[in-house]
Amino acid sequence: MISHLRSLWLVFKHMFHKRETIQYPEEKPYLPPRWRGRIVLTRDPDGMERCVACYLCAAACPVDCISLQATEDENGRRYPEFFRINFSRCIFCGYCEDACPTYAIQLIPDFEMAEYDRQNLVYEKEDLLISGQGKYHGYNFYRVAGVDAGVKPKGGGETESEPVDVRKLLP
Amino acid sequence: MNTVIHIIMIILILLVLLTIAAGLIYVERRMLAVWQDRYGPNRTGPFGLLQVLADMVKIFFKEDWIPPFVDKKVFIIAPTIVMMAVLMSFAIIPFTPKIGVVDLNIGVLFFLAMSSMGAYSVVLAGWASNNKYALLGGIRGAAQMISYEVFMGLSLMGVVILAGSFNLRDIVEAQRKIWFFIPQIVGFVIFFLAGLAETHRLPFDIPEAESELIAGYHAEYSGMKFGMFFVGEYLGISLISALVTTLYFGGWLGPHFLPPIVWFLIKMFAFILLFILIRATLPRPRYDQLMSLGWKLLLPLSLLNLLVTGAVVLYGHL
């Protein structure tokens, strides 16, 4: 009986507490920088696409909402011919970001993607590509990779030694 | 001429009561939200007040479906009974010395009779629905309401002894010196608990118990028929609050700076808020706990209260 009266009093006191509700359209909630929202494709510091079309994101995706086709330019640099994410299927798990070896695919704190037409939720590469580097600055895969794709010559990387001529007799 | 004024007053009281009952939907949602650190409905109109209107429009335009397996006549009549019974009970409430439908000299008994009628609504609805959950709800409702009626009446007798009358106006007048909730604190608590059970409000909403019986006796109801049960429940809350005000808290009596009707409404709304606060706080007891609370604790207590009150009044007369 006493405990019932006490809980009545405790509930009554909640009248003067701060409201938990965030009045959403007027008041935006705080989203941390690592919030998993809309997916973007980023560019490297030189303004080129980071994506090397390795298909790892598509393989990691549990709902198979990513589809892409790899191709190469005249320098041998790989890039996706098309890159398509169906956001009506995407569950924003972030596995694609985890799988990406070149920091190309990233999830950003934006969730306001409502559409009247489901077809409008299928984003093509030009919708996904942003002009910046996203969360990871200064990284360019082709600067540290061991291949020449028109960014640097083979062996020209900062931590890279000159290629060894395997036919030479001297060490 | 007097008859015309009387009829106009009845219609006005009816309209005000139905408005209060509809408004309580908003008040309840808002207050529950406030006690749960939320805002509640605040989008439609100023402070969300138009939510009432939106709810009414919604429930009127809903499909009013009668399932093919129900006992059609009884199914239709059942929701009207609760509304009629509660509205009839309001006839005896003296809102002020002047406002009030009828000055019945057996007012308290009339209220008890009408609240027994309310039990029929639950039982018939549960039975006519031809659905096992509804039937279970109806059976529980019958048992609960019948057993709580017993000491609801008994707890009121203390007031009747003190006032020496069944007439609610006389009872209010008898409280000029002291409000009856002080000498009759036990009777007040018992009456309030019985009122909670009688209106099957939340801690005692065992006939409808969503978590076990879906919606109990009104599981098969839709549209405005369901709305009638809903409005009936809110009218029931207002009725019990009005009665507690009249019987234990001096009805329209109060300091003179406010008119009597305002005093009455203030007290009534305080009890309506208490109803909602109890809903926001307490969990539902088990069915057998409710029954044993009623028969093993509240019934002996109300008899004891009656005995002591009678003895004290008798001693005073000697």
Identify which of A8, A15, A23 has the shortest CB distance to residue B34.
Answer: A15
**Is B38 inside a domain boundary?**
no
Domain residue limits at A93: 31-138
Residue A170 lies in a domain: no
- In terms of residues, how long is chain B? 318
Does residue A49 sit within a domain?
yes
Rounded (to 5) percent helix, strand, coil in chain A: 20, 15, 65
**B6 confidence band (pLDDT: 50, 70, 90):** confident
- Position A86 scores a pLDDT of 92
For an interface test with B, the pick among A6, A8, A10, A11 (most B C-beta atoms closer than 10 Å) comes out as A11
Q: pLDDT band for position B131 (50/70/90)?
A: confident
pLDDT of residue B1: 65
Average confidence (pLDDT) over B253-263: 82
Residue percentage of chain B with pLDDT more than 70: 99
**pLDDT surpassing 80 at residue A76:** yes
Contact A14 B281 (CB under 8 A): no
Where in the sequence is the domain holding B203, given as residue range(s)? 63-317
- How far does CA B305 lie from the centroid of its chain? 23
Distance CA A4, CA A6 (A): 5
What is the DSSP pairing of strand A105-107 with strand A66-72?
unpaired
| Closest in B38, B39, B280 to A11, CB measured | B280
Look at residue B42 and tell me if it is in a domain: no
Interface contact B282-A4, CB threshold 8 A:
yes
- Asked if residues A146 and A60 have their Cβ atoms less than 8 Å apart, the reply is no
Looking up residue A69, the CATH number of its domain turns out to be 3.30.70.3270
Tokens of A132: 């910046």
CA-to-CA dists, residue A7 to A2, B228, B281, angstroms = 9, 32, 7
Name residues whose C-beta falls within 8 Å of residue A122's C-beta, 6 or more positions apart in sequence: A84, A85, A86, A87, A88
Which secondary structure element, helix H or strand E, spans residue A68, and what is its range? strand A66-72
In this structure, is residue A148 part of a structural domain? no
pLDDT at res. A117:
92
pLDDT the model gives residue A23: 87
In whole angstroms, what is the distance from residue B176 CA to residue B254 CA?
9
Query: Which residues neighbour A62 within 8 Å (Cβ) at sequence distance 6 or greater?
Result: A91, A93, A95
Number of domains chain A contains: 1
Q: Is A41 part of any domain?
A: yes
* pLDDT for res A93: 92
Which of A6, A19, A24 would best serve as a mutation to test chain B binding (most B beta carbons within 10 A)? A19
Q: Is residue B237 part of a domain?
A: yes
Asked if the model's pLDDT at residue A65 lies above 80, the reply is yes
Contact A8 B37 (CB under 8 A): no
Q: pLDDT at residue A116 above 90?
A: yes
B44 pLDDT tier (thresholds 50, 70, 90):
confident
Average pLDDT over chain A, rounded to an integer: 88
* Interface contact A7, partner B, CB < 8 A: yes
Q: Does residue A56 register a pLDDT over 70?
A: yes
Q: How many CB pairs under 8 A join A and B?
A: 32
Our measurement of the distance from residue B295's CA atom to the centroid of its chain's CA atoms, rounded to an integer in Å, reads 21
* Domain-located, residue A36: yes
Token digits of residue B58: 């919604």
Please state which of the ranges A104-108, A117-121, B196-200, B244-248 shows the lowest mean pLDDT: B196-200
pLDDT at B33 over 70: yes
**Per the domain annotation, does A26 fall within a domain?**
no
Give the pLDDT score at A99. 92
Q: What is the pLDDT of residues B135-146, one digit of tens each?
A: 888 888 888 888
What is the average pLDDT across B18-35?
88
Q: What is the pLDDT of residues B83-121, one digit of tens each?
A: 888 888 888 888 887 777 788 888 888 888 888 888 888
What pLDDT shows up at residue A162?
A: 81
Check CB contact under 8 Å for A18 and B37: yes
Question: Reduced to 3 states, what is the DSSP secondary structure of residue B211?
Answer: helix
Say whether pTM exceeds 0.80.
no
Residue B38 has pLDDT above 80, yes or no: yes
Q: Which of B108, B114, B110, B86 is nearest to B233 (CA)?
A: B86
- Residue B176 CA to residue B158 CA, distance in Å, equals 17
Q: Is the pLDDT of residue A36 over 80?
A: yes
What is the spatial distance between Cα B81 and Cα B120, in angstroms, rounded to a whole number? 7
Q: Share the mean pLDDT of chain B.
A: 85
Contacts of A12 in chain B (CB under 8 A): 35, 277
Centroid of chain to Cα B17: 12
- Parallel, antiparallel, or unpaired: how do β-strands A39-41 and A66-72 relate? unpaired
Q: What is the pLDDT of residue A80?
A: 92
Number of domains in chain B: 1
Say if A167 falls within a structural domain: no
